[in-house]
Amino acid sequence: MTVTPRVVVLAGGVGGARFSLGVRSALASRGEAPATIVVNTGDDLWLTGIRLQPDVDSILYALAGVNDTQRGWGRTGDSERVHHEVQAYGAGWPWFTLGDLDLGTHLARTGWLREGLTPSQVVAGLSRRWDLGATLLPMTDAEVDTHVVVRDGERLHFQEWWTRHRATLEPIAFENPGVDAATPAPGVVEAIRGADVVLIAPSNPVVSIGPILAVPGIREALRATDARVVGVSPIIGGRVVRGMADVCLTAIGVDTSSSGVAAHYGARAADGLLDAWLLAEEDAASASAVEALGIRPVVVPLWMTDAAASTALAEAALTA
């Protein structure tokens, strides 16, 4: 009997969505069981009375094949009629566009939440519509939206800092109020503990992976699992691939380098998380620094320029 490995991915944002597509395709081509993807919900927010889950939706839409690949968020071919109506009333955020098709998702989600479903039941409900080829789990059912404390002491919701101010206000702290009392969503700890491989996607280590690891019980499950824990560097050639992750890394005192992020996650043998770390060919010189941390470095092409490249990267992570 062939035993197919159980694969768990920790993910958020565009990097997480692209990597999840690669993992799905790599597992399908090996004839193996679909992955469980644990998604960051720190980006979530309430806006004009509706609940948004940007990272859940990015990964949901990408796996469903309906994501806007140009913008990196929302639905392809969407219109903005409702958004303009909301703006005409002076409601909502002018700098945060909700597409009409996207709003359908938010309304379904909010309706179910108001009827008493938990966020993980809602994610399952949204997932049922599509043939995703993966199971999505929110990291927690608690509302632990990320807040950013900036230099002048002001505290902003992550989306205001990221989308409105484009991360230009110097952050001094990222916080997830309530996270200390949060618990992992049903199935998260079980999936990690029962996995053969856990992959940490090349998502923003601070605001995408950070909130997942901050949920009490998740880091402990990663430390306790017999699975290999393999991370993929979000840094290529000493630079962040996309987004403004360098600002986030600097704020928490982590060097914007492949070995810097590896050190941030740490080696399993030294109270950290990683068994292996995939770093870019451009950063091959950092391999020895990663090895010195007690993490096995694996140098591979990291650019997820197309589906084939994302699949090859996921394949490399699965076999690392």
Residues near ligand FO1 (CB under 6 A) are 13, 43, 52, 54-55, 57, 73-74, 96-98, 102, 159, 162-163
Alpha-carbon gap, residue 68 to 306, rounded angstroms: 15
Quote the strand ranges of the chain, DSSP E. Answer: 7-11, 35-39, 45-47, 50-52, 134-138, 147-150, 155-157, 171-175, 197-200, 228-232, 235-236, 239-240, 276-280, 296-300
Beta strand pairing call for 50-52 and 134-138:
unpaired
CB of 13 to ligand FO1, least distance (A): 3
Whose Cβ is closer to ligand FO1: residue 165's or residue 193's? 165
Query: Which residue, 53 or 257, is less far from ligand FO1 as judged by CB?
Result: 53
Q: Which is nearer to ligand FO1, 97 or 110 (CB)?
A: 97
The pairing of strands 228-232 and 197-200 is: parallel
Min dist CB 74 to ligand FO1, Å, is 6
Nearest distance in Å: CB 152, ligand FO1: 22
Helix axes of 54-64 and 119-128: crossing angle, nearest 10 degrees: 20
Nearer to ligand FO1, 30 or 81 (CB): 81
Nearest approach, Cβ of 261 to ligand FO1 (angstroms)?
17
Q: Please, what is the minimum distance in Å from the beta carbon of residue 56 to ligand FO1? A: 8
Given the complex with ligand FO1, which of 80 and 196 has the nearer CB atom? 80
Give CA 129 to chain center in angstroms: 21
Q: Which of 139, 136, 121, 112 is nearest to 62 (CA)?
A: 136
